[in-house]
Each structure stands twice: as structure tokens, then as C-alpha cells.
Amino acid sequence: MKVFFFVDDDDLIIKSFKRIFHLYKDNYEAHFFNNAQDALEALFLNQPDYLFSDLHMPGIDGIQLIEQSLKISPHITTILISGDGFKQNEDKPAHFYLEKPCTRDQLIEIMQHEERL
Amino acid sequence: MSQFNEIRNPIETLPLIKELFPREVLYIVELDKRDSWLKDMNLWSFFVPDRKSGDINLNRESFLKLLSKEYDRHWIESAIDGNPTPTHCEFKINHMNSIHYYSCHFIKDRKKSYLAFRRVSEQRISETQNYNALQLQSFATLVPGILHDLKTPLQYVVNNLSYLKEVINLSDLSDKDDVLDAVEQSLIGTDKMSKLVHHVLDYRRRGSDIKEDFKIDAILDEAVQITTFEWKKIASVTFSVEPKGMYFFGYPGEIERIVINLIVNSCHAIEKQKSTSKGRISLFAIKETGWNTLIVEDNGCGIPEKNLKLIFNPFYTTKEVGKGTGLGLHLIKEIIEVKHGGEIDVISDEGKGTRITVRLPQNKEVILK
């Protein structure tokens, strides 16, 4: 079973993603964090295959989180989520970019796409 | 900002100011409940010097009639009531083919309120207009932030709705179909909201620094989407691009802004027409020899022939304050002619509609190829 981390500083977003992924609990093992620090610490315990992270967060932001996570476990597929749009942001470190609001299907699509590779 | 704001004690200072300035330049009235200041004939000759005393009703209503803009009338009314915001207003009085500009300050002390009218030059008024444009601009810079903040709630609303949809689907509710309909329709709503937010932000993001080849259909589509709110109730908007997928050459951001402004203008013209049938706005992108041509056509109220040569004048407007979108036809003309080396052409039939043709030069390098 694939394991993913989902990091967003907005608790309502976390709760809503928890809900929509609860129905897929047999396919994915999901871990949710409302700050980057907790996610980084958890990286040592659970080895996620995917890391979805919000871009703007207080403290460690999405880019820093992805950079540091890739140092800890380089095999993770990273996805940066933001409301900004990413037209001018190609230099950012993530493997994939999603724009808010995004759907569960988009998240799943990325994970399935990766599985096929 | 003005010398009047510094008046600490108007009771003492006003007579002094009145003495310093001749009545033709400055006129100060004391406001009261009975509007008795409006009975002062000298005040009227200050505003309409060439009108004979006999044919004026010395009352508030006919005073307000002198002002052409709804905003100014509203300001004067609230000043008379004692609480105008801001405390200063500039307006023009258009009388007997001559236009006079006035600035008006509201002054208040513990007991009384005053209005100080001052004749000003056209120059001053345009400075104020620039200031208003600046205010509008600073509001415009806030918009992306506001839209951005909308995305987070949108995200969890969308999530929760799709969660509800799935849970209901699995349930055995008696009126399951109705509930599903309700959720489904809400999802359509959030989808529309997301698209609109994306469109507006994309539009904002589009820089206008580089001249480039761009697909005109994407620009037209986005302009139509962004202006949906303006035309939805009064008109239908169609656009056609021939040859399909054709490219325009220029600054895409500015061209889009122009298209948006032209659509909004057409909407206002259609509203003014007050026709019973629905309005129609058609956009065409076509190729002519040497030109990429964009046509915006509507069946609105049209422009009277005498105004046709005025419409590119920077101060020309027939709209009320707050109705303009900020660009104005003179700026559109400037962007087209100066920045693109193109031309703009207006044909209008009063009561029937208007057709605006924008010709932009084709990319010479492409032509050579």
C-alpha cells in the first residue's frame, strides 16, 4: 500500500482531505500534518512514497519542506500545492505542481501515474 | 491637502478668507435646516453667471440639477445633511455651453456647518480624476490577494461536497436523488467559482512587457468569461476566429484589457438602449492584408454623430461615476496606435448599435517566412 503525507496549515483543508481519503483507506495510507516540522519528524518513522505540501505555510514553507524531505529520503515523489499558479515557478524543487482548489482525483492521478512508471 | 482643512476656528477665520478672496473665486455659505443659503442670488450667479435671475427656482432641487453626476449630487446632499465623506468634492457645472469647475469643502465647527465653493481650473479636476484612478488601481492590487484567499475555503468546500456526494451515494436515503442533485449543483457552483478565480488571476499575471505572437481565441474566451457578470442578464456574447487558431501579434495582456473594456462598453450601450429583446455582442477576429483585425459589434444605443469625434477625448464620458472600467477609449486608442502601430475605427448608428474595429499589424518576421 502506498503511503503519502499531506501537509497544509489550514485545519479545515486537512479535515476535508481526511474525509475524502477515508473512503480510499484500503488503497492508501494517508498521514496528515498541519505544519512542516511535524511532517519532517514523521519522515523518519513512516517512509512515505508521496509528499503533498501546501506552498505558503508559517515557519517552514512548502519549498523548504520539500528540499529537506528530499535530503532525508531522496526517493519521495513531491507535489507542491498552491493557489499561486506556477507559471513563473519552474525552478521550484517539486516533481509535480497542483493549483488550489484541486480534487482528490488529481492527487490519485499523480500517484497512479507514478505507479505505472 | 487643502488650506481649508487647517482652519481651526472657522468662526474667526471665515470672514478673513471671505475678505481675502473675491466672490467670483470663493463663495462660502452657512448651512441650515431650512436651506436658506439657497435663496442667496449671489450664490447662484457664482455658479451660473450668465443666467437671468427670474428663471431660477431658488431651491435644493434646482441646485442639484446643475450637477451632472450622481456622485456629486449625492455628495452635496450628504454635505447639507452634515456628514459628507470625504469632506471635499470637485464637480463641474455645464451650463449654456460653458463648463465651470468647482471644488467644494465641507467645514464644521461646534455650532455650524459651512460649504466653501471655489472655482478651479480644469487642470485641478483632472488631477483629482488621476487620484481617483490611483485609488482604483490600489484597489485592483488588492484583488489578487482577495481571490487568493478565496481558494483555501474553496478547496475544503469542494472536498467536503465530494465527500458528501460519495457518502450519500452509498446510503439508502429515501430522497437520495434530490439530495444528490443538491450536492451536484453545489459542485457545479464551486467549479464555476474556481474557474472564475483562475481566469481573473491568469489575466492579472499576464505580463505586458514583451510583444509576442499569441492565440487570439484564448484571449477572447477569457475576456468573455471575466465579463460574464456584466453581460449575463442583458446580452448574449459570441465570438468567432477565422482562420481558426489564428495568432495576433502584440501585448496579449493589453489586448485582453482592451477586449474587456470594449465588451463592458457594449454592455452599457445595451443597457441604455432598454430594448425588450436581448442584446447581442459579437466579437470577430479576422485576417486582412497586413492586419490582424478584431471587431466588436453590439446592438446597443449607439453613439450620436456629434459625439463620435469626442469619444477619444480623455475626459469624454456619458457614464456615471463608478461605471467606467478605468481605461477609457482614449487609452485604448493610445495602446493600439502608439504601442502596437495599429488603428481603431468606430462606426455607430444611433439607436441601432456600434461597431469598433481594431487593426493590429501582423508580425513582419512571420510574413517574411
Tell me, what amino acid is at B170? L
Which residue shows C-alpha cell 452634515? Answer: B82
Residue A77 parent element (H or E): strand A77-82
- Kindly state whether A60 is in contact with chain B, defined as any CB-CB distance less than 8 angstroms: no
Residue A93, preceding peptide bond in cis (omega within 30° of 0): no
Tell me the pLDDT band of B87, cut-offs 50, 70 and 90.
confident
- Residues B234-259 pLDDT 10s: 999 999 999 899 999 998 888 988 99
- Residues B150-164 pLDDT 10s: 888 999 999 999 999
pLDDT greater at residue B225 or residue B3: B225
How many Cα atoms occupy the beta-carbon half-sphere of B155 within 13 Å?
A: 28
- Asked if pLDDT for residue B369 goes beyond 60, the answer is no
Length in residues, chain A:
117
pLDDT greater at residue B51 or residue B335: B335
pLDDT of residue A91: 64
Give contacts of A104 with chain B, Cβ < 8 Å.
159, 162
Cβ atoms of B43 and B129 within 8 Å: the answer is no
Give contacts of A83 with chain B, Cβ < 8 Å.
148, 151-152
Tell me, what amino acid is at A48? P
Please name the member of B153, B163, B198 whose beta carbon is closest to the beta carbon of A19: B163
Gyration radius of chain A's alpha carbons: 13
- Kindly state whether A116 is in contact with chain B, defined as any CB-CB distance less than 8 angstroms: no
pTM value is: 0.49
> Under an 8 A CB cutoff, do B155 and A16 touch?
yes
Tell me the pLDDT band of B40, cut-offs 50, 70 and 90.
confident
Please name the member of A10, A20, A104 whose beta carbon is closest to the beta carbon of B152: A10
d(CA A40, CA A70) in angstroms, rounded, equals 10
d(CA B89, CA B128) in angstroms, rounded, equals 9
This complex has an ipTM of: 0.76
- Kindly state whether B198 is in contact with chain A, defined as any CB-CB distance less than 8 angstroms: yes
Q: Residue A84 corresponds to which cell in the numbers above? A: 499561486
**Percent share of chain B, pLDDT over 70:** 77
Give contacts of A87 with chain B, Cβ < 8 Å.
205
A39-60: b or e for each residue (b if 16 or more CB lie within 10 Å)? bbeebeeeebbbbbbbbbbeeb
117 residues of chain A, pLDDT tens digit each? 889 999 999 999 999 999 999 888 888 999 999 999 999 999 988 889 999 999 888 889 999 999 999 998 899 999 999 876 655 455 678 888 888 888 888 899 999 876 655
pLDDT of residue B72: 85
Give contacts of B162 with chain A, Cβ < 8 Å.
20, 103-104
Name the residue of chain B whose CA is nearest to A11's CA: B156
Which residue shows C-alpha cell 473675491? Answer: B22
Cβ atoms of A7 and A52 within 8 Å: the answer is yes
Tell me the pLDDT band of B347, cut-offs 50, 70 and 90.
very high
d(CA B237, CA B180) in angstroms, rounded, equals 32
> Under an 8 A CB cutoff, do A13 and B154 touch?
no
Tell me the pLDDT band of B45, cut-offs 50, 70 and 90.
confident
Give contacts of B159 with chain A, Cβ < 8 Å.
13, 16-17, 19-20, 101, 104
Give contacts of B143 with chain A, Cβ < 8 Å.
none
**Going by C-beta distance under 8 Å and a sequence separation of 6 or more, which residues neighbour residue A77?**
A49, A50, A51, A95, A96, A110, A114
> Under an 8 A CB cutoff, do A99 and B198 touch?
yes
Which residue shows C-alpha cell 455659505? Answer: B29
Highest mean pLDDT among B88-92, B131-135, B358-362: B358-362
Closest alpha carbon to B241 in B193, B283, B297: B283
Gyration radius of chain B's alpha carbons: 27
pLDDT of residue B73: 87
Handedness of CA A73, A78, A82, A88 (dihedral sign): positive
**Percent share of chain B, pLDDT over 90:** 24
Tell me the pLDDT band of B24, cut-offs 50, 70 and 90.
low
Angle at B232 between CA B230 and CA B238, to 5 degrees: 100
3-state secondary structure of A108: helix
Tell me the pLDDT band of B13, cut-offs 50, 70 and 90.
low
Please name the member of A85, A101, A104 whose beta carbon is closest to the beta carbon of B154: A101
d(CA B186, CA A46) in angstroms, rounded, equals 37
Please name the member of B151, B201, B205 whose beta carbon is closest to the beta carbon of A101: B151
Q: Which DSSP state fits B54?
A: G
3-state secondary structure of A79: strand
Which residue shows C-alpha cell 483562475? Answer: B198
> Under an 8 A CB cutoff, do A17 and B159 touch?
yes
Chain A closest CA to B164's CA: distance in Å? 9
Q: How many CB atoms lie within 10 A of CB B124?
A: 15
pLDDT of residue B129: 60
- Kindly state whether A23 is in contact with chain B, defined as any CB-CB distance less than 8 angstroms: yes
Give the residue-averaged pLDDT of B322-342: 76
**Going by C-beta distance under 8 Å and a sequence separation of 6 or more, which residues neighbour residue A53?**
A5, A6, A7, A8, A36, A39, A62, A65, A66, A78, A79, A80, A81, A94
d(CA B93, CA B104) in angstroms, rounded, equals 12
Q: What are phi and psi of B293, to 5 degrees?
A: -120, 135
pLDDT of residue B206: 61
Tell me, what amino acid is at B32? D
